[in-house]
Structure 1
């Protein structure tokens, strides 16, 4: 070792990825699988509390709608989570070109309230279409108190 060389006092830690993507079978169990994947990702991003609960509910509704929209025309749905600049974005892709509809469900109806919940909970939501289907997305603003801190780039040995 050179007389000028010194051991490092800090080490760089890898940054947490700001996106995660998954594919799930297009069936009734996909919503639960997607929520579990989201919970794991939110723990890595240190997002907890109300924003985490809202994100799970939003994702559940979007995945359920995607599975119902394509009704066996495609074998899977795509799910993507992105975290940047205090915003959590949830995206669900399906092969249907049918656009989601914001319904006014009657009191005794069991279905039809999913997008009403999405509209109420999300900071924004929308649909991006392409030639083979669509991606329905929802965003949540996550305040710093809900996401305590990202892992520091530096840490002690």
Structure 2
């Protein structure tokens, strides 16, 4: 894969990295001519990075890695963290503030999953494609 078809960044595990990760994805989508995916892709990135910031238990110095990969008809958004705990999809509680992240990811992505990665922890990813008429 050519370098410009993938954008990999590492972030300190703190709330401000969510906006930074979104900005990197927005730029990659524009460079790849995929701006029409921006709304859903940014939602996916926000939810996955936020989950890693909030729930990835581990040493504070462990970073979160984002990978934005250009695929044939769209983009794959990956978030890697060092926590072995697996994500859980919760049924949204109409009165709670949280618990909707993976539910939203599942609603807008073509497919998503989680699994092992090279090194400790896991990766959570989602793919979005351009819809053709």
**Is TM (by shorter chain) over 0.5?**
yes
TM-score, normalised relative to structure 1: 0.77
Matched, 1:129 2:112: no
CA deviation string 1:73-126 (max 9, x = no partner): 243100000112103100000010111101012211000000000000000000
Which deviates more from structure 2 when the two are superposed, residues 82-91 or residues 112-121?
A: 82-91
TM-score, normalised relative to structure 2: 0.90
**Which runs of structure 2 are paired with 1:24-39 in the superposition (5 Å)?**
24-39=11-26
Q: 1:144 Cα shift?
A: 6.3
Matched, 1:116 2:95: no
Distance 1:144 1:22, change over 3 A: farther
**Which runs of structure 2 are paired with 1:29-108 in the superposition (5 Å)?**
29-49=16-36, 51-71=37-57, 73-75=59-61, 76-108=63-95
Q: 1:138 Cα shift?
A: 0.3
Alpha-carbon distance in 2 for matches of 1:105, 1:73: 29
Segments of 5+ residues of structure 2 without an aligned counterpart are none
Q: 1:16 Cα shift?
A: 7.5
Larger Rg: 1
Would you say the 8 A contact 2:84–2:122 is kept in 1?
yes
Q: Secondary structure at the match of 1:118?
A: helix
Query: Runs in 1 of length 4+ with deviation above 4 angstroms?
Result: none
Relative to its length, the structure with more helix (as a share) is 2
Alpha-carbon distance in 2 for matches of 1:103, 1:18: 33
Structure number with greater CO (CA < 8 Å, separation at least 6) is 1
Q: Which residue of 2 aligns with 1:141?
A: 129
> How many residue pairs end up in the alignment?
130
